Structure 1
Amino acid sequence: MSLNIFWFLPTHGDGRYLGTGKGARAVTHHYLKQIAQAADDLGYYGVLIPTGRSCEDAWVVASSLVPLTERLRFLVAIRPGIVSPTVGARMAGTLDRISNGRALINVVTGGDPEEQAGDGIWLDHDERYEVSDEFLRIWRSVLEGESVDFDGKHLQVKGAKTMFPPVQTPYPPLYFGGSSPRAVDLAAEQVDVYLTWGEPPAAVAEKIAAVRDKAQALGRTVKFGIRLHVIVRETSEAAWAAADELISHVTDDTIAKAQKSLGRYDSVGQQRMAALHGWRRDKLEVSPNLWAGVGLVRGGAGTALVGSPEEVAARIKEYADLGIESFIFSGYPHLEECYRLAELVFPLLPLAPQHSNGPVRVNLSGPFGEMVANDVPPAAVGEKADAPALKIAQG
Structure 2
Amino acid sequence: MDFHWFLPTNGDSRDIVGGGHGTPSGSAGGVRPLTIGYLGQIARSAEQLGFVGALTPTGAWCEDAWLTTAMLTEVTERLKFLVAFRPGLISPTLAAQMSSTFQRLSGGRLLLNVVTGGESGEQRQFGDFLDKDARYARTAEFLTVVRGLLRGETVSYAGEHLRVENAKLARVPEVPPTIYFGGSSPAAGPVAAEHADVYLTWGEPPAQVAEKLAWIRTLKPDMTFGIRLHVITRDTAEQAWAEASRLLRNVSEQDIAAVQAGLRQSESEGQRRMLDLHGGSRDGLVVSPNLWAGVGLVRGGAGTALVGSHTEVADRIEEYASLGISEFILSGYPHLEEAYWFGEGVLPELRRRGLWRHPAGEKGTAPTAIPFAGVPLEKAS
TM range (shorter): over 0.9
Q: Which amino acid is the alignment partner of residue 3 of structure 2?
A: I
Q: 1:291 maps to what in 2?
A: 292
- Cα displacement (A) at 1:25: 1.1
Give matches, 1:1-20, under 5 Å.
Answer: 3-18=1-16, 20=27
* Segment of structure 1 superposing worse, 285-294 or 19-28: 19-28
CA contact (8 A) 1:81 1:121 kept: yes
Structure 2 Cα separation of the partners of residues 261 and 269 of structure 1: 15
Q: Which amino acid is the alignment partner of residue 87 of structure 2?
A: P
CA contact (8 A) 1:41 1:358 kept: no
- Tell me the TM-score normalized by structure 2: 0.92
Structure 1 Cα separation of the partners of residues 380 and 320 of structure 2: 28
CA contact (8 A) 1:113 1:264 kept: no
2:85 to 60, 78, 83: 78
Aligned in 2, Cα 1:280/1:102: closer, same or farther, shift over 3 Å? same
CA contact (8 A) 1:229 1:331 kept: yes
Q: Which amino acid is the alignment partner of residue 367 of structure 1?
A: A
Q: Which amino acid is the alignment partner of residue 7 of structure 1?
A: W
Q: 2:344 maps to what in 1?
A: 343
CA contact (8 A) 2:369 2:377 kept: no
SS in 1 for 2:369: coil
Structure 1 Cα separation of the partners of residues 135 and 365 of structure 2: 46
SS in 1 for 2:329: strand
1:42 to 35, 46, 49: 49
- Cα displacement (A) at 1:185: 1.3
Q: 1:149 maps to what in 2?
A: 156
Aligned in 2, Cα 1:379/1:105: closer, same or farther, shift over 3 Å? closer
Deviations 1:55-86 (A, max 9, x none): 11000011000111011010001311100111
1:131 to 128, 135, 138: 138
Give matches, 1:277-316, under 5 Å.
Answer: 277-316=278-317
Q: 1:200 maps to what in 2?
A: 205
Structure 1 Cα separation of the partners of residues 114 and 77 of structure 2: 24
Q: 1:209 maps to what in 2?
A: 214
The sequence identity of aligned pairs, in percent, is 53
SS in 2 for 1:5: strand
Q: Which amino acid is the alignment partner of residue 132 of structure 2?
A: H
Give 1 or 2 for the bigger CA radius of gyration. 1
Q: Which amino acid is the alignment partner of residue 190 of structure 1?
A: H
Q: How many residues align?
A: 364
Q: 2:23 maps to what in 1?
A: none
Q: Which amino acid is the alignment partner of residue 152 of structure 1?
A: G
Structure 1 Cα separation of the partners of residues 363 and 218 of structure 2: 37
- Cα displacement (A) at 1:189: 1.3
Structure 2 Cα separation of the partners of residues 352 and 271 of structure 1: 36
Give matches, 1:1-395, under 5 Å.
Answer: 3-18=1-16, 20-168=27-175, 171-216=176-221, 221-349=222-350, 350-360=355-365, 367-368=369-370, 380=379
The RMSD of aligned alpha carbons is 1.7
CA contact (8 A) 2:348 2:380 kept: no
Deviations 1:100-143 (A, max 9, x none): 01110000001111100101111111000000000000000011
SS in 2 for 1:165: coil
* Segment of structure 1 superposing worse, 322-331 or 69-78: 69-78
CA contact (8 A) 1:229 1:330 kept: yes
Structure 2 Cα separation of the partners of residues 134 and 80 of structure 1: 9
Q: Which amino acid is the alignment partner of residue 260 of structure 2?
A: Q
Aligned in 2, Cα 1:239/1:378: closer, same or farther, shift over 3 Å? closer
Structure 2 Cα separation of the partners of residues 313 and 287 of structure 1: 15
SS in 2 for 1:345: helix
Structure 1 Cα separation of the partners of residues 380 and 219 of structure 2: 47
CA contact (8 A) 2:50 2:360 kept: no
Aligned in 2, Cα 1:352/1:133: closer, same or farther, shift over 3 Å? farther
- Cα displacement (A) at 1:368: 5.0
CA contact (8 A) 2:51 2:79 kept: yes
